[in-house]
Amino acid sequence: MINFKNRKLLLSTILIAFIILLILPSCSKPSSEESIINEEVSFDYNLEFNDIDIMNSDSLYYELTFDMIGMESMDMSIEIDDTLYNSFKIVDIDSSSQVLGGYIPFNDNNMNIKVSFIDKGIVIADQYHAIPLRRNIEVLTFSNNVSSKHLDSLFDKNKFVNNNNIIYDKFKKYDFTNTEVIILNDLDMLSEKMIVELQKFLLNEGYIFVVMNKNIKDNNELSYSLGYPQVKAIRGSSRNQFFSVTDQEFLNEYSFLSKDLVNQSQLYRYFELKDNEEDFSRIMISTNDPLLLEKEVLGGKIFFLTTKIDPNWSNKFFDLVLNDILNRVFFQRLLTDES
């Protein structure tokens, strides 16, 4: 039998335990109001630089996509080689994803850019970006009988490409000692001498860009010595039928400004290959055929364009895309030399 004192003590113990159970949840969990506030405050961003600008511009374009939720403003600072270049305030207008773009000047030296995002004096995120060293690239362009006016116009705009146009002579031996990129523009044949020199060039990590010729037989014979794709047929006929273009991150990796041009590009004719060669495709045609192939051959690289630089084969927007394609090849060459 429980006496009065023990019963009183038992009731007190039960009451204390009940109070503790009520208090504990409120201590371990934030209030619903605090939880909502924590969930609603965020800053997500994606910052990209258009590095391909270094080929033909004096400034580097950047694009910031951000989403500010529950924040009135954010400070953004840009430092170049540890020196403050610019600082400004980002204002949250409608708490939705927004895009902010700008230009950063650069010089011929290696530059390091630091972008910081600051909230109430505290750095909540930062990002570093190194710009490759700008320098001249030595290029030789071989054509059948006349130089390509289109290629000439592209090189005129490019400050860092020293291009020399050459009418190809199959009886001549060429020296590629100081050359970094060779463009074979619409050649219908290559001599054994030329093939041997090109193989040596590739062994020294050279880059070759091939605008293929419609002589299918001669193109196919080069597949064994220079990795040329085997051509099955020429597809397309007139401007009434056209094919669209799909970039597979070849251009977007360093140049997101070319997206609109790619979407507006039209091809009227292209070389259909015997093998799809998907592993080497960098840009595709809407028929699921490759437009640009990138192959590693003998330690170097060869790029094959499966359409021609001709208004009967593509529209004017593709001419502009070709500029970005060549700049991307030249830019990749810069990165190869730095590694």
In a domain, 209, yes or no: yes
For residue 145, the surrounding DSSP H or E stretch is: none
What pLDDT sits at residue 16?
Answer: 55
The reported pLDDT for the residue numbered 34 is 46
**Whether residue 57 is found in the same domain as residue 90:** yes
- Assess if residue 110 is contained within a domain: yes
Give me the pLDDT at residue 203, please.
92
Let me know if residue 190 belongs to a domain.
yes
Q: Are 333 and 160 a contacting pair, CB within 8 Å? A: no
CB 154 within 8 A of CB 322: yes
Closest to 302 measured CA to CA, from 286, 282, 278, 288: 282
pLDDT at 32: 45
Kindly state whether residue 221 falls inside one of the protein's structural domains: yes
* Rounded CA separation 287/53 (Å): 31
Pair (223, 330) in one structural domain:
yes
Rounded to the nearest angstrom, the gap between the alpha carbon of residue 114 and the centroid of all alpha carbons in its chain is 20
The dihedral over CA atoms of 92, 93, 99, 103, expressed in degrees to the nearest 10, equals -70
> 183 is in which domain, residue-wise?
137-338
Number of Cβ within a 10 Å radius of residue 270 = 22
Beta pairing, strands 245-247 & 270-273: unpaired
Q: Which of 115, 131, 147 is the last residue of a domain?
A: 131
* Residue 24 located in a structural domain: no
Q: Are residues 232 and 263 in the same domain?
A: yes
**What is the structure's pLDDT at 130?**
87
User: 185 and 66 in one domain?
Assistant: no
Q: Are residues 96 and 165 in the same domain?
A: no
Length of the chain as a residue count: 339
For the record, the structure tokens of 5 come out as: 């004192």
Q: Are residues 127 and 141 in the same domain?
A: no
What does each of the 339 residues of the chain score in pLDDT, given as a tens digit? 434 345 455 445 555 554 555 455 544 455 444 444 445 778 888 898 888 888 777 888 898 888 887 777 889 999 998 889 888 888 766 556 678 888 988 776 678 899 999 988 889 889 999 887 778 889 999 988 766 666 777 777 677 788 888 888 888 889 898 899 999 988 888 888 899 999 999 999 999 999 888 776 776 777 777 888 888 888 887 666 888 888 878 887 666 667 778 888 888 888 888 876 777 889 888 888 999 999 998 889 999 999 988 888 888 888 888 888 888 898 888 877 655
Residue 30 lies in a domain: no
Q: Which of 81, 108, 131 is the last residue of a domain?
A: 131
Q: What is the CATH number of the domain that holds 84?
A: 2.60.40.10
150 and 91 in a common domain: no
| 16 falls within a domain | no
- Domain co-membership, 60 together with 148: no
Considering the domain architecture, whether residues 166 and 313 belong to the same structural domain is answered as: yes
Is 12 inside any structural domain? no
Residues 141 and 91 in one domain: no
Distance CA 268, CA 238 (A): 6
> Where residue 256 sits, what CATH number does that domain have?
3.40.50.880
82: left (phi over 0), alpha (psi -120 to 50) or beta: left
- Domain stop point among 85, 107, 131: 131
Q: Do 234 and 274 lie in a common domain?
A: yes
Same domain for 323 and 207, yes or no, is: yes
* Inter-axis angle of helices 316-338 and 149-157, nearest 10: 50
CB atoms within 10 A of CB 6: 10
CA-CA-CA-CA torsion sign (248, 158, 243, 308): negative
Overall domain count for the chain: 2
